[in-house]
Structure 1
Amino acid sequence: MDKEVDPHVLTVIDEMRLSGPRLTPVEIVAKMGVFDAREKPFDQAWLATGDNVIATIWAEYVSVGSGGRWFCLESLDTQLRAGGGTRTAFQVQRAKDRLALLKRTFDAGQGFRAVLQTNRVAIAELESNKAAKVSTRVRDDAEWHVASWEPEQQLAVLVRGPRGWTPDEAEVKAAAARGSVPVVAEAEPEVAAPPAPVSREEVQAAAMDYVMRHFKGYGYNAEDLTGKNIGYSIEVSNAKGATLLRVVVKGTSTGSPKFQLTSEEQACSVREPLWRLLVVSDAGTAIAQHKIYKPSEMSQAPGFEAQG
């Protein structure tokens, strides 16, 4: 809500809103190059033409640091809402999709375009209140970038303007107090986090678990056919029993970045029209994400190795 926005930030947003044409939230994103904006009007990030990433920045979470620099904190915890409570499967996937696009810009050393948004309900209720709607959305002509990405702290810092500046520790703590990241109690020193999967088998098991939960979270039936040697791992069908996809699942991680298809999987990709390759990257971690490839595209999948 406007009263939660820093006065300086709100003034700039009002100037942007009044100086440009009157556009709906969908039209703003569409004019920035998002072809499917009408199908995804309230996503949290989009991939636009030219491989440009566009991300929503909630003005309620924007802090003003030293020298007037704007920044906001981005939680890397996809399971918890910033306002408290766990996310639904759909909300988790939207959060993962957003983080995947932001991480893409960070890895490439590129900036991203932003749409600044204020909301009609308290920001803590944004994901849980079904009546939540956009109050104001404007295109920010200043470029943003991901200044830091800290998986251990489950935190990234997004900064508006040129690189070379990051908020100091006191500014980060003050921004966290605004509620943009879930408050997670520090673990007791003697309690160690469970180790990430390291073997090929553990990575693959984590990838299968991720995919099964993903499809079931969207209401589809997913049957695990691992071990049947029929050329795919999971058969996905709708509530009426109609088969939608037959996917072979492959997981990758830092310790296991490569994968191959078996001879049966390779043969099935040719004869089965519903066959798809689904690759889960960072399998077994909080930032796991996936992408689906058609048979003609599978050589483009990161980590794919053709059989010798």
Structure 2
Amino acid sequence: MDKEVEPAVLAVINEKRLSGEKRTPVDIIARMGVFEARDKASDQAWLATGDNIIATIWAELVSIGAGGRWFLLESLDTQRRIGGGDRSVLQIQRAKDRLGLLKRALDAGQGVRAVLQTNRVAIRDAESDRAARVSTRVPDDEEWHVALWEPARKFAVLVRGQHGWLPSDEEIQAARARIGMPEEAPQGASGEAAADDPQAAAMDYLARHFAGYGYKAEDVSARKLGYDIEVSDKKGKVLLQLAVKGTATGKTGFKLTDEERACAKKGDPWRLAVVTDAFGPATQHKLYRASEIDKAPGLEPF
């Protein structure tokens, strides 16, 4: 909503909106090179022609730092909304897709083209309100870039304009308070273990993933059956037996145990489940049948 937007940001949006021809939100990203823009209109970031990365910049979340520099505090928590509350499975996937593209831009030293957007409902309600719609979307003439990526603190900073500037800690804290982004929760012993153990993080991720689709995901790893998670439907029918392997930066290799290899030979419903970036913001997984396990990246020789 306009009243949530910094005046300097709103002035740029209004000038851009009034000076150009009237376009729909879909038309704008289509003209920026997004294929099948209508089908992807609800996405939060896009890979366009020429490997250009385009991202929505919610104007309500933009803060103004020293010297008038604009910055956006980006949450790396894909599970929860900024205003509080758990995301749906679809919302989680959209958040992961967006963060994956932003991380790709950071790793490549690539800028990000932006569309500035305001919404018809309060920004904290934008994901949870079914009536939420885009109010205004305009392409930004200035390039943005990912200036800071802090997975341990669960946020990144996107900056508009030239490289070399970062908001101060005080400005970041003020932005947190302004947009309602909670402080990172202190981790207890189990959280610290998960942060050091991609296997534990992978198990947690897959349990939440399948639970989000209404399946039961039971941890049976202590029983040494040759798989770690048994996925079943509401009637109790076993759908998958997952041998879980988690990988992360610096810990990309894994081996299969004798029990896992023996179980794999039995075939369905056994699968190797490889979870990449297990405790990062862009966690993903892929399932491999027994006949495909040699194609799994990171699998070390028997």
Question: Shorter chain as normaliser: what TM range?
Answer: 0.7 to 0.9
1:258 aligns with 2:253: yes
Alignment-derived partner of residue 192 in structure 2: 195
Alignment-derived partner of residue 298 in structure 2: 304
1:62, 1:112 → 2: CA distance? 15
Alignment-derived partner of residue 282 in structure 1: 277
Letter of the structure 1 residue corresponding to residue 31 of structure 2: K
1:182 aligns with 2:181: yes
User: In structure 2, do the counterparts of structure 1 residues 34 and 121 end up closer, same or farther at CA, with 3 Å as the change threshold?
Assistant: same
Among all aligned residue pairs of Structure 1 and Structure 2, give the percentage whose two residues are the same amino acid: 57
User: In structure 2, do the counterparts of structure 1 residues 131 and 9 end up closer, same or farther at CA, with 3 Å as the change threshold?
Assistant: same
1:195, 1:221 → 2: CA distance? 26
Letter of the structure 1 residue corresponding to residue 54 of structure 2: I
Paired residue secondary structure (1:195)? helix
1:36, 1:298 → 2: CA distance? 34
1:30, 1:238 → 2: CA distance? 42
2:271, 2:161 → 1: CA distance? 41
Alignment-derived partner of residue 213 in structure 1: 208
1:4 Cα deviation from its structure 2 partner = 1.1
Paired residue secondary structure (2:82)? coil
For the Cα contact (< 8 Å) 2:25–2:137, is it kept in 1?
yes
Paired residue secondary structure (1:142)? coil
Over residues 173-194 of structure 1, what are the superposed CA-to-partner deviations in whole Å (9 max), with x where a residue is unaligned? 3322221x52237649xx6673
1:237, 1:47 → 2: CA distance? 35
Letter of the structure 2 residue corresponding to residue 280 of structure 1: V
Alignment-derived partner of residue 41 in structure 1: 41
Q: How many residues align?
A: 296
For the Cα contact (< 8 Å) 2:247–2:274, is it kept in 1?
yes
1:300 Cα deviation from its structure 2 partner = 8.4
Paired residue secondary structure (1:118)? strand
1:237 Cα deviation from its structure 2 partner = 8.3
Alignment-derived partner of residue 138 in structure 1: 138
- Consecutive unaligned residues of structure 2, counting only runs of 5 or more, are none
1:31 Cα deviation from its structure 2 partner = 2.7
Letter of the structure 2 residue corresponding to residue 44 of structure 1: Q
1:158 Cα deviation from its structure 2 partner = 0.7
For the Cα contact (< 8 Å) 1:234–1:248, is it kept in 2?
no
1:287, 1:64 → 2: CA distance? 25
User: In structure 2, do the counterparts of structure 1 residues 171 and 246 end up closer, same or farther at CA, with 3 Å as the change threshold?
Assistant: same
User: In structure 2, do the counterparts of structure 1 residues 233 and 21 end up closer, same or farther at CA, with 3 Å as the change threshold?
Assistant: farther
1:236, 1:92 → 2: CA distance? 22
Over residues 200-229 of structure 1, what are the superposed CA-to-partner deviations in whole Å (9 max), with x where a residue is unaligned? xx5335324422422331346778898666
Paired residue secondary structure (2:113)? strand
Query: What TM-score, normalized to structure 2?
Result: 0.77
For the Cα contact (< 8 Å) 1:225–1:234, is it kept in 2?
yes
User: In structure 2, do the counterparts of structure 1 residues 306 and 157 end up closer, same or farther at CA, with 3 Å as the change threshold?
Assistant: same
1:291, 1:33 → 2: CA distance? 29
Alignment-derived partner of residue 16 in structure 2: 16
1:300, 1:8 → 2: CA distance? 52
CA RMSD, 1 decimal:
3.9
- Consecutive unaligned residues of structure 1, counting only runs of 5 or more, are none
Alignment-derived partner of residue 50 in structure 2: 50
User: In structure 2, do the counterparts of structure 1 residues 175 and 204 end up closer, same or farther at CA, with 3 Å as the change threshold?
Assistant: closer
Over residues 87-116 of structure 1, what are the superposed CA-to-partner deviations in whole Å (9 max), with x where a residue is unaligned? 333323322222222222222222212111
Alignment-derived partner of residue 163 in structure 2: 163
